Structure 1
Amino acid sequence: MAHPQSRPASPGASFRSGRRPKGLLIAAMALAMGLAAAAFAVQQGIAHRPMRDVLDMPVPAGEFNKRSPASSVARQGDRLVAVGPRGLIVLSTDGGSHWAQMSSPVQSDLVSVRFSDASTVWAVGHDAVALRSTDGGANWQRVLDGRSLLKLLRGHYPAQGGPEGADKTREEVERWASQSATPDVLPTPFLDVSFADANDGFLVGAFGLVLHTVDGGKTWVPWIEHTDNPRRLHLYAVGGHGAQRYIAGEQGLLLRLDAARSHFALVKTPYEGTFFGVDVRPGRVLAYGLSGNAYVSNDEGAQWRKLATGTDASLVAAVPASGEGLLLVSDAGHVLSVSPDGSRAVPLQIPYTSEVLGAATTASGQLVLALVNGLRVLDITPAR
């Protein structure tokens, strides 16, 4: 593991070289948080605790340590919610001027946070944890974890019968379970969550994990075999606009929802590296990821062109800018203003902070960065 003071890896760094870790626990610890966050967890002792202990120990509300690592941040109106290692959940109701730590049901590392409507927030992460708040991030309930997910998967892929492709998936689930350090707990991390409306949503994660809900998360249906992902590549992001839904993953994997078939179909791209995110607007799809690579399509993936980003740092977030524009943010702290049609990217003058894991914009147009050493709100110099 890298020394905490060395340049840490970005989300998913353990898979960027194309080497897949042998142990599921190694993958779960390295995925999406970066080595600096993992080092922090080890220093605090959390990495050596039994997983059941992590799932059964809540985090009390209290004063927020402004140097605590944060992995993701999301906004709705003036409310900002950020998450991070050891079940960290923090809330700001004034656009990031003040933050307070909220109580969390678990001490698992949280990776991604998103609003699904004005008051509902989802946070997902390691140990197959999915948390939901229905009051804008103040109070949280556990919806899924490694225990309930394993029961769900075993029920959906029984020893005999089940959906088409169930035999292969059942074998994979049992293999994942056998590698867990804690019996009857599946540690496979969820890496992203996205809802098209209050009811219709998807969870995605490592080893091709996909779940679908049509009732706002009350029930979930495994969609592992509903994807053109036979190698079970890791799925880092899910997002969309209206009826268009996309999943982005490693080795250039990009999938588009075919609602009529209830299937995520492969979209061919000219890139073979990892995609960490996808941003979908009317008439434009932007997929971005490793080493500053970003590709734009204006015809739903039939043709692609490479966006000149001018950086070899990995792109980890895409957030709305003023008007119809977009900001691309790299793990090294570069911020690019992208035109609405995705034809050009202009670098903005942003002071260096530290390793960036996530980003959002405030209602007033400031940039909020989730960093390995806390949260920071910055003014943005408009592109000329």
Structure 2
Amino acid sequence: MFLVQGAYAHASDADENTEMSPKAAYMMPLASQSLLTDVVKVGQQGFAAVGQRGHILLSNDAKNWQQATVPVQSLLTSVYFTDDQYGWAVGHDATILHTQDGGKNWQLQQFLPEQDKPLMDIYFFNRQQGLAIGAYGLFFTTSDGGVSWQPTFHKTLVSADDAEYLADLEETDPEMYLLERESVLPHFNRLIVNDQQIIMVGEAGFMAKSDDAGASWQRLEEFYNGSLFAVHRTEQGSIVTAGLRGHVFLSEDDGDSWQQIDLPVSATLNSLFADSAGRLFITGNAGALLRSEDNGQSFQDMSQADGRAILNGVALGEQLLLVTEVGIKLTPLSKSE
């Protein structure tokens, strides 16, 4: 089984998790046409994309891609660079990878196949301080650039009912408390960071906020009972989040209240990102692609005719660089192009 937000929430893959020791990713000539889950800019001109079987691809022009050397074959779900040299990627088997040469070579910092749990997102404030989150409440932090990763548990991320249960258990059975506390947390799917503030979304309407770089957390009141897979803060300061069955919500008061935004599609939505002009984009299953030019108040349908799931993207002027279930795609924003 492997887990990726949206399109690949639950599916089988015989090539994943077959052995407990890491094996280097195969160099595949058609890797750019395989399932890719995330893409980011690297420095001023570079790009990095990650995906199935440990594939990490690099490009300087968003058209020609070269596969990097990677020490695992786990499905990778997210990638983040602090600058043009230092980057990290996460994925299944609680895998964490690190590069110090712009993505050409990657070193394994963490690999825990025995847990059978995927990490879904990663962020670094600088080259030393970072955090990684994932399914089943996975939460790791580092203060030494990933040389060591500490599993972290925040009681405030637990629901009110489960918090009461854990409090009783902590007093009566401390050993069982340590076992149970991980099982009551939801999947953590995505996070965004603005200075010291972090917003994290996940399973069953979970949303939480930290105002001190993750040292402490406040679980926000649930406003939707479905999973949320994407979250974004606009240039105007609004928060937009998206998830199952075409559900999108907008908050203009830092998460205190939410309004649902009507969409012309009902597919599960996977990612949110913006361009330099402040236009907001949503990608999703079944080729779903939407654009907003009014701070998320409404969206225009740009869905792709091929119907392939779009997992994430980067805006490049009047084009979008998209990663999909069948690889990398460049899509013009104007039909006339």
Scaled by the length of structure 2, the TM-score of the pair is 0.83
Letter in 1 for 2:98: R
Runs (5+) with no aligned partner, structure 1? 1-25, 148-184
Partner of 2:251: 297
- 2:60 is aligned with 1:93: yes
**Root mean square deviation of aligned Cα:** 2.5
Secondary structure at the counterpart of residue 190 of structure 2: strand
Distance 1:249 1:37 in 2: 15
The equivalent residue for 2:40 is 74
The one-letter code matched in structure 1 to 2:20 is M
Question: 1:215 maps to which residue?
Answer: 144
Q: Which residue of 2 aligns with 1:59?
A: 25
CA contact (8 A) 1:359 1:368 kept: yes
1:295-321 CA distance string (max 9 Å, x none)? 111211111111222211111111222
Rounded to whole Å, the distance in 2 between the matches of 1:308 and 1:242 is 30
Counterpart amino acid of residue 231 in structure 2: V
- In structure 2, the partner of 1:84 is 51
Distance 1:217 1:292, change over 3 A: same
CA distance in 2, matches of 1:97, 1:222: 38
Out of 287, 301, 307, which is 1:347 matched to? 301
Tell me whether 1:265 sits opposite 2:218 in the alignment: yes
- Residue 251 of structure 1 aligns to a residue whose secondary structure is helix
**1: distance between equivalents of 2:54 and 2:17?**
15
Query: In 2, distance between residues paired with 1:256 and 1:338?
Result: 25
Change in 2 beyond 3 A, CA 1:38/1:84: farther
Report the AA paired with residue 189 of structure 1: P
- The count of corresponding residues between Structure 1 and Structure 2 is 309
Distance 1:261 1:190, change over 3 A: closer
Question: 1:354 touches 1:373 (CA, 8 Å); kept in 2?
Answer: yes
Distance 1:275 1:252 in 2: 6
- 1:67–1:374 Cα contact (<8 Å) kept: yes
Q: Please give the secondary structure, in 2, of the residue aligned with 1:262.
A: coil
Q: Secondary structure at the match of 1:342?
A: coil
Q: 1:191 aligns with which of 116, 120, 139?
A: 120
Counterpart contact for 1:132–1:140, Cα < 8 Å: yes
Counterpart pick for 2:18 among 49, 64, 82: 49
For the residue of structure 2 that corresponds to 1:51, the secondary structure is: coil
Aligned to 1:165: none
3-state SS in 1 of match to 2:231? strand
1:128 aligns with 2:94: yes
After superposition, where does 1:1-384 map in structure 2 within 5 Å?
Answer: 26=1, 29-32=2-5, 34=7, 38-39=11-12, 41-42=13-14, 46-47=15-16, 49-52=18-21, 55=22, 57-61=23-27, 63-76=29-42, 77-94=44-61, 96-146=62-112, 185-229=114-158, 230=162, 231-259=184-212, 262-281=215-234, 283-339=237-293, 341-348=295-302, 350-352=304-306, 354-362=308-316, 364-381=317-334
Cα offset, 1:37, TM superposition: 9.6
2:53 maps to amino acid: R
SS at 2:204's partner residue? coil
In 2, Cα distance between equivalents of 1:308 and 1:210: 33
Give the AA of the match of 1:140.
W
Equivalent-residue separation in structure 1 for 2:227 and 2:17 (angstroms): 30
d(CA) in 2 for partners of 1:105, 1:323: 38
Structure that is richer in strand per residue? 2
| Contact map agreement 1:64 1:101 (CA 8 A) in 2 | no
In structure 2, distance between residues paired with 1:260 and 1:350: 37
Q: Distance in 1 between matches of 2:195 and 2:28?
A: 38
Flag the 1:261–1:350 CA change in 2: closer, same or farther, 3 A: closer
Displacement after TM superposition at 1:349 (Å): 6.3
Deviation at 1:126, TM superposition (A): 0.6
For 1:330-369, what per-residue CA distance to the aligned partner results, in whole angstroms no more than 9, with x for missing partners?
Answer: 222222222363222222365435122222223x442122
Whole-angstrom distance in 2 between the partners of 1:37 and 1:370 = 19
The 10-residue stretch of structure 1 (330-339 or 100-109) with the greater mean CA deviation from structure 2: 330-339
- The 2-side partners of 1:93 and 1:260 are apart by 32
The letter for the 2-side match of 1:80 is F
**Structure with a larger share of its residues in helix:** 1
Identity of aligned residues (%): 28
Structure 1 residue 200: Cα displacement: 3.0
What is the alpha-carbon distance in structure 2 between the residues aligned to residue 85 and residue 237 of structure 1? 19
TM-superposed deviation, 1:93: 1.2
Q: Which amino acid aligns with 1:313?
A: A
Give the Å deviation of 1:124: 0.7
Give the Å deviation of 1:114.
2.2
